Structure formats: structure tokens, C-alpha cells
């Protein structure tokens, strides 16, 4: 469950801060991808505790999709509980640049 978020994520997904607290983190992703990310995070909590950065999309309040990169680690709370601390980065600009480069290369072929 989401315990807290910062203003940057709330701006990215176009929701007020309180709107996501208490939700399961998979609710931030398209329905077809939720199980995939749930499994990834569960495996990380049972093993090394570090989730390698991966690309995905998050859903905005108006049902739009934003490409993001997520990196995360497991934090031990000391009372036997663990939580996942995630960093979500908007990679929209990077994706646009990659697409423009691919398009340019296609047009440049003889």
C-alpha cells in the first residue's frame, strides 16, 4: 500500500496527495501490467532488497499514460517490517528524443 508520496509524483499523475495514500501501488499502473509489477516487488522483498530500474507507465487522473522509470529498494524498519521505497522518474522527454532519433535514422537510410 502507498504510505506517502511527494508533490512531484502527485503532479505527474494529476492527483492530490491524499488521493493515492492507502491505494495499492499497482493501481498506478495500467490494469494489464499490475500483476507483473506486483511479482517484481514481491520477489525483491524476499531477496536482495534492490529492484533494478525498469521502465513502465503510470496512469494519470484523466486516464492518460506517462512513461516512467522506477527504481526501488527495501527499507528495514527494525520491528521486522519492511517497506519499498521507490523513486519514479518521468521519462517522457527521453522517450520523445529516442523516437525522434529512430525516425531520423529511418528517413536517412538510402
Q: What are the strands of the beta sheet with 82-90, ordered from one edge?
A: 50-59, 65-76, 82-90
Q: Pick one of 3.30.565.10, 3.90.550.10, 3.30.450.20, 3.40.190.10 as the CATH number of 7-108.
A: 3.30.450.20
pLDDT reported for residue 93 = 95
Each residue's pLDDT tens digit, 52-93: 788 889 999 999 999 999 888 888 888 878 788 889 999 999
Cα angle 43, 94, 72; round to 5: 20
pTM of the entire predicted model = 0.80
Nearest to 85 by CA among 59, 60, 50: 50
The rounded distance, in Å, linking the Cα atoms of 13 and 26 is 14
**Averaged pLDDT, 23-30:** 87
User: Nine-digit cell at 59?
Assistant: 496512469
pLDDT reported for residue 48 = 63
Amino acid at each position: 500500500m502507498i504510505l506517502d508520496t511527494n508533490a512531484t509524483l502527485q503532479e505527474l499523475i494529476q492527483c492530490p496527495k491524499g488521493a493515492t495514500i492507502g491505494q495499492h501501488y499497482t493501481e498506478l499502473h495500467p490494469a494489464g501490467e499490475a500483476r507483473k509489477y506486483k511479482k517484481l516487488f514481491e520477489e525483491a522483498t524476499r531477496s536482495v532488497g534492490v529492484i533494478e530500474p525498469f521502465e513502465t507507465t503510470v496512469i494519470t487522473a484523466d486516464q492518460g499514460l506517462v512513461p516512467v522509470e522506477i527504481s526501488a529498494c527495501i527499507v528495514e524498519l527494525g520491528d521486522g517490517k519492511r517497506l519499498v521505497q521507490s523513486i519514479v522518474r518521468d521519462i517522457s522527454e527521453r522517450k520523445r528524443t529516442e523516437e525522434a532519433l529512430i525516425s531520423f535514422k529511418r528517413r536517412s537510410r538510402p
